[in-house]
């Protein structure tokens, strides 16, 4: 049976590796490295924007994927006598709240063998919320909206 220290070291290395990988996956550079031929097929101005994680009107769906990543949700519809597709991106937003809790137990606690009490503690959770939407007509960016003004770096005005 492996020792506790070996298990802890293995868990630490695995956690660090996952954290590093999750940060790498979220970058345009990571997607471009794995889709080099797709990136090379883009027009120069779209290649430059995608490499910086930005989008503009007229970009292809492939360029938007390289710039922003895989959308959280895709929707298709029909409006103004034309079909469209919308890609929605979500991000996790912190949600702060307070919780009231009680505790009790047995053992050598502060009050002898049995102990109990209550507490009021702040907590943080993360809730998904839509952060951006990109609308395509004929597989080209027609419009977009950014729902989180703190991250306006994804947009590029023509």
Return the SS3 of 67.
Answer: helix
Q: Can you give the pTM of this predicted structure?
A: 0.64
For the cut 70, the answer to whether the pLDDT of residue 52 exceeds it is yes
Q: Smallest Cα–Cα separation from 88: which of 146, 23, 127?
A: 146
Residue 122 is predicted with a pLDDT of: 82
pLDDT tens digits, 74-126: 999 999 899 999 999 998 888 887 777 676 666 665 655 666 677 777 888 88
| Residue 150 phi, psi (nearest 5) | -70, -15
β partners of residue 136: 85, 141
**In contact, 99 and 126? CB cutoff 8 Å:** no
Q: At 119, list the tokens.
A: 């507490």
157 vs 127, residue with greater confidence: 127
Return the top range by mean pLDDT from 34-38, 78-82, 107-111, 128-132: 34-38
Residue 130 is predicted with a pLDDT of: 86
Vertex 57: Cα angle to 23 and 51 (nearest 5) = 30
Q: Tell me how far apart the alpha carbons of residues 123 and 65 are, in angstroms, rounded to a whole number.
A: 35
Q: First and final CA of the chain: distance in angstroms?
A: 63
Q: Tell me how far apart the alpha carbons of residues 130 and 92 are, in angstroms, rounded to a whole number.
A: 9
46 vs 109, residue with greater confidence: 46
Q: Which helix (H) or strand (E) holds 112?
A: strand 112-137
């Amino acid at each position: 049976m492996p020792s506790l220290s070996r298990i802890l070291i293995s868990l630490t290395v695995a956690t660090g590796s996952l954290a590093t990988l999750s940060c790498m996956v979220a970058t345009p550079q990571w997607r471009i490295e794995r889709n080099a031929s797709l990136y090379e097929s883009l027009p120069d101005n779209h290649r430059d924007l995608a490499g910086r994680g930005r989008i503009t009107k007229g970009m292809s769906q492939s360029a938007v994927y390289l710039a922003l990543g895989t959308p959280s949700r895709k929707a298709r519809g029909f409006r103004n006598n034309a079909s469209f597709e919308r890609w929605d991106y979500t991000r996790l937003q912190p949600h702060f709240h307070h919780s009231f809790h009680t505790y009790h137990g047995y053992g050598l606690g502060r009050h002898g063998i049995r102990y109990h009490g209550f507490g009021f503690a702040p907590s943080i959770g993360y809730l998904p919320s839509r952060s951006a939407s990109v609308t395509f007509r004929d597989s080209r960016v027609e419009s977009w909206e950014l729902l989180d003004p703190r991250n306006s770096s994804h947009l590029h005005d023509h």
